[in-house]
Amino acid sequence: MFCLLFLFSAALAEEAADHLWPAPSSRIITQGYARRAHPAIDILGQLGDSVVASRDGTVIYALTGCKNVDGLHTGRRCTQRTGCSKRSRENHPLDGFCNYGFGNGVVLRHSDGAYTAYAHFSQLEPALRRGSRVAQGQRLGEMGSSGRSTGVHLHFSVTAPKSPGFTQNRLDPAEALAPFVYVATTRAAQITSYRARLEGAFSFLGPVPERVGIFLGESESALEMSTEYFDVDFPDLTYMTMYYDVDNIEGLPLEPGVTYYWQCYAIQSGQMELGEVKRFTMEKD
């Protein structure tokens, strides 16, 4: 049996352009693009992870002064007591949150008149100022949860060229970033003498994966494509967790006390991406 638990909605990508992925340490998109409700993508990360410039550009806003980490989740709004500077509090905060709810962050203007915006940093690189020139891939700051945020992540938005500002004409970032699929082999659970639940996850940008599933075998060198899910009209999602209840390999039952190896995979545009190989041992009768 195969099940998917769909967690977050997002739009699909058409083509890649010349932008670099802005969060080198993570490929998990926890909230996708929605033109009116959320014209950006949110990328999961750890506190302190690097955020980099997706293109060469010029800093037009270097927003700082926010120390109310996880402000929305805790209800700690932008006040002197919660550690927000006077300037950030007076910068027309959204619902009382620092810097329009943006928190600490950077907005870049690019040579074609497009903008990229990066929000919710824990801190910016100290040298960044309005007017600073930055190169593609240059570190802008550290991922955090400042402003109107419920957890550590990067909020990233892209506008069309010749936009009047960074909040206008915002595109689906999938139109600017290279497509990818990220696969994680997570854990084996609910193990008995004849069945195991194998759990994984995948996240993608661009074309929806044609097929996802697992390889399973009695050694790392003898993995067989066991359970798969394909030719399915996936919903508009970019991050999914999945589980497979397995009790056989190619029709042969799993044996009590035997150790098995397994690996999640996903195929996007004909290219296969693999999670790490893990193992589990069946219970004995």
pLDDT in tens, 73-90: 444 556 655 556 666 665
At 73 the pLDDT is 45
- The pLDDT of residue 7: 32
Instruction: Identify whether residues 44 and 130 lie together within a single domain.
Output: yes
Residue 262 belongs to a domain: yes
Residue 52's identity, in one-letter code, is V
Last residue of a domain, one of 146, 175, 204: 175
Of 12, 14, 8, 4, nearest to 239 (Cα)?
A: 8
Of the candidates 147, 155, 84, 81, the residue with the CA atom closest to the CA atom of residue 116: 155
First-to-last CA distance in the chain?
A: 23
- Is residue 69 within 8 Å of 145, Cβ to Cβ? yes
pLDDT tens across 46-69, in order?
A: 999 999 999 999 999 999 887 655
Token readout for 167 is 């909040």
Our count of domains for the chain comes to 2
Does residue 253 fall inside a structural domain?
Answer: yes
Residue 68 CB partners (closer than 8 Å, separation 6+): 76, 77, 78, 82, 83, 84, 97, 98, 146, 147
Query: What confidence category does residue 113 fall into, taking pLDDT thresholds of 50, 70 and 90?
Result: very high
pTM above 0.85, yes or no: no
Q: Is residue 2 part of a domain?
A: no
Res. 162: pLDDT tops 90: yes
On whether both 76 and 159 belong to a single domain, the answer is: yes
Q: Is 167 within the bounds of a domain? A: yes
24 & 164 share domain: yes
Instruction: Enter the DSSP assignment of 71.
Output: H
250, part of any domain: yes
Domain boundary among 123, 158, 175: 175
* Residue among 93, 88, 30 at smallest CA distance from 64: 88
Query: Does a structural domain hold residue 5?
Result: no
Same domain (yes/no): 156, 206? no
Q: Please compute the mean of the pLDDT values over residues 23-31 and round it to a whole number.
A: 92
- Per the structure, the complete domain to which residue 38 belongs is given by 17-175
CATH number at residue 205: 2.60.40.10
Is there a single domain that holds both residue 218 and residue 169? no
User: Pick the residue with more confidence: 199 or 100?
Assistant: 199
Q: Tell me, yes or no, whether 143 lies in a domain.
A: yes
194 and 163 in one domain? no
| Mean pLDDT (whole number) for 115-140 | 96
Q: What is the mean pLDDT of residues 234-244?
A: 75
Helices (H), the chain: 71-74, 86-89
- Mean per-residue pLDDT for 244-256? 92
Q: Are residues 168 and 187 in the same domain?
A: no
> How many of the other CB atoms lie within 10 Å of CB of 122?
20
Chosen domain end from 175, 191, 219: 175
* Rounded Cα gap, residues 271 and 162, in angstroms: 35
